[in-house]
Amino acid sequence: MRNRSMLFAAALVLGAGMTAPPVQAQSYSNVVLAGNPLFYWNFNEAGDTDPAADLVGTEPGDSLLPEGNATRVTSTSTTGGLFLGRAASFDGTQLTKFFSGTLNAVTPPDAWAVEMWVRPQGPDPGDRFDYLLEARAPGLSNSPGILYDYGSNNKVEVFHGARTADAGPTLTSDWQHLVIGDFGSANDRVDFYLNGAAAGSAVYTGDSPFGTTQLAVGNSVPGAANFDHFNGQIDELAVYDLTGMSISAISSKLAALATHYSVSQPGIPGDANKDGVVNGLDFDLISNNLFTTQTPGSGGDLDLNAVVNFADFRLWKNVAPADIAAQYSIPEPAGLTLLALGALGVIRRRSSV
């Protein structure tokens, strides 16, 4: 018999009376939705010019409609081998974009994050002056504008009055995973991640809530005649509301989103360490990584939300063989109260049956 001072007992008590959701084959959309986005478009619709549905809500106005020559092409895969399906494709002409002028007008997030996969295409004339997207709120344009190569050497920028200029990452013509986080009006900070790694931070005084009434993807809303229109592909576009979160919590959230670059197919449900067997080693991995950020589907993160927590214990217990799960018992209720107060420990014992 040996003691383990992890929170398994508390996790199971929290899950008492609850049934863990069935573990299904992981898709990239599962991973994104586990992060609780405000809006999310994966562009996987079958028709090349079908509206792109928001996978979070049911408001018809949240669908992005293709305009001009906007279409779809086959997308890419994460570095972990998870295929992304289809992507929005833009030809760099004035009227081409995916657009909604009737987004569900929730309160514009003061602090926010955007993630996407992006691949610029076509010749580089020196300065492209492109928009990856423009969001608007009543009375506010460029709230924000996400710019690419807008006179700044293939850099990605945030624009709303002020610009982040050279602080952002440089894009190449390959598929790349981009995360941008605005820490809100009280913090004057924008951080960038590219391909899973931190890629710049800017002191930013633009004070740009994320507009939630209009959104143009691959262009500005009006689409200027000689600039703004992106040539390339954008996929898996998600917007997150980070309002009210602390600086450290926002930083952690951005780091978690950045792990989507390398997310992989987990294989056997409950097999946290991917050795092909669901057993006590998976429990140990969850225990050792409890409350840490991990690449979704790795390091004990069975529910794909990039954090190892109580829910992962419940998922493991739900699929572990009965004789294995029986080795991890719950203390009696009276004893559990004392354990919870004294570090929420749990005793791991071998069954004598």
Identify whether the C-beta of residue 218 lies closer than 8 Å to the C-beta of residue 131.
Answer: yes
Taking only Cα atoms into account, the Rg of the chain, rounded to an integer number of angstroms, comes to 23
- pLDDT-based confidence at 303, cuts 50/70/90? confident
Within-domain flag for 353: no
Helix (H, G, I), strand (E, B) or coil at 247: helix
- pLDDT-based confidence at 271, cuts 50/70/90? confident
183-191, long-range: CB < 8 A, 24+ apart = 183/111, 183/242, 183/247, 183/250, 184/110, 184/111, 184/242, 184/243, 185/110, 185/209, 187/111, 187/247, 189/247, 190/158, 190/164, 191/251, 191/254
**Residue range 157-174: average pLDDT?**
92
Within-domain flag for 113: yes
Question: Which pLDDT score is estimated for 268?
Answer: 75
Of 285, 273, 266, 269, residue with least CA distance to 31: 266
Dist. CA 351–CA 336, nearest whole Å = 19
Question: Which pLDDT score is estimated for 332?
Answer: 40
Tell whether 6 and 34 lie within a shared domain: no
Tell whether 254 and 312 lie within a shared domain: no
Last residue of a domain, one of 198, 231, 262: 262
Residue 228 DSSP label: B
Lowest mean pLDDT among 21-25, 91-95, 179-183, 338-342: 21-25
Tell whether 312 and 221 lie within a shared domain: no
Of 217, 222, 231, residue with least CA distance to 66: 217
Question: Which pLDDT score is estimated for 353?
Answer: 40
Distance of alpha carbon 32 from the chain centroid: 4
Number of domains in the chain: 2
**Residue range 68-95: average pLDDT?**
93
Instruction: Give the angle subtended at the CA of 77 by the CAs of 89 and 241, to the nearest 5°.
Output: 70
- What is the per-residue pLDDT across 36-68, written as a single tens digit (0 to 9) for each? 999 999 999 999 999 999 999 888 999 999 999
Count Cβ atoms below 10 Å from residue 202 Cβ, excluding itself. Answer: 21
Residues spanned by the domain of 240: 28-262
Contacts of residue 101, defined as CB under 8 A and 6 or more positions apart, other chains included, come to: 213, 214
Dist. CA 286–CA 278, nearest whole Å = 12
Helix (H, G, I), strand (E, B) or coil at 61: helix
The residue with tokens 């009376």 is 17
* Run of H or E residues at 250: helix 247-258
Tell whether 58 and 70 lie within a shared domain: yes
Identify whether the C-beta of residue 69 lies closer than 8 Å to the C-beta of residue 88.
Answer: no
Assign residue 13 the CATH number of its domain.
1.10.1330.10
Lowest mean pLDDT among 13-27, 63-77, 232-246: 13-27
Contacts of residue 290, defined as CB under 8 A and 6 or more positions apart, other chains included, come to: 6, 7, 300, 308, 309
Helix (H, G, I), strand (E, B) or coil at 264: strand
- What is the per-residue pLDDT across 89-130, written as a single tens digit (0 to 9) for each? 999 999 999 999 999 878 999 999 999 999 999 888 878 899
Tell whether 14 and 46 lie within a shared domain: no
Of 79, 25, 21, 49, residue with least CA distance to 263: 79
Tell whether 306 and 242 lie within a shared domain: no
**One-letter amino acid identity for 68?**
G
Question: Which pLDDT score is estimated for 297?
Answer: 78
Last residue of a domain, one of 215, 244, 262: 262
Last residue of a domain, one of 204, 238, 262: 262
Distance of alpha carbon 99 from the chain centroid: 21
